[in-house]
Amino acid sequence: MGNINKIIKYNLECEVDPLLEQKVPYQKIANTIKETHPEIKDLNTLSAMNIMRYKTDKESKAMDMILDEGRDPMDEFTKEYRAAIRKNNEEVQVIFKDCKAILEEAKQSDNIANKVKAVEVSLKSLDQIRRNWESLSQYGSRQIPLIGKVNLKKEQNVKVLILSVSNKLCPKCRDEMKKVIEEHLKEGED
41-56 pLDDT, tens per residue?
999 999 999 998 999 8
* CB contact at 8 A, 143 and 77: yes
Q: Say what the pLDDT of residue 15 is.
A: 94
Q: Say what the pLDDT of residue 188 is.
A: 66
3-class DSSP assignment, residue 109: coil
Q: Say what the pLDDT of residue 17 is.
A: 94
What 62-65 contacts at long range (C-beta under 8 Å, 24+ apart), as own/partner pairs, is 63/146, 63/147, 63/149, 63/150, 64/150, 64/153
- 50 exposed, middle or buried (CB, 10 Å; 0-12, 13-18, 19+)? buried
Q: Say what the pLDDT of residue 1 is.
A: 42
3-class DSSP assignment, residue 70: coil
Low-confidence ranges of the chain (pLDDT < 70): 1-3, 188-190
Angstrom distance (rounded) from CA 29 to CA 49? 11
Q: Look at the chain and count its residues.
A: 190
> What ranges in the chain are assigned the alpha helix state H?
6-9, 13-21, 26-36, 48-68, 73-108, 112-167, 171-189
Instruction: Look up the pTM and report it.
Output: 0.51
Model pLDDT for residues 131-143, shown as the tens digit of each residue: 888 888 888 887 7
- 69 exposed, middle or buried (CB, 10 Å; 0-12, 13-18, 19+)? exposed
Q: Say what the pLDDT of residue 11 is.
A: 92
Angle, helices 171-189 vs 112-167, to 10°: value is: 160
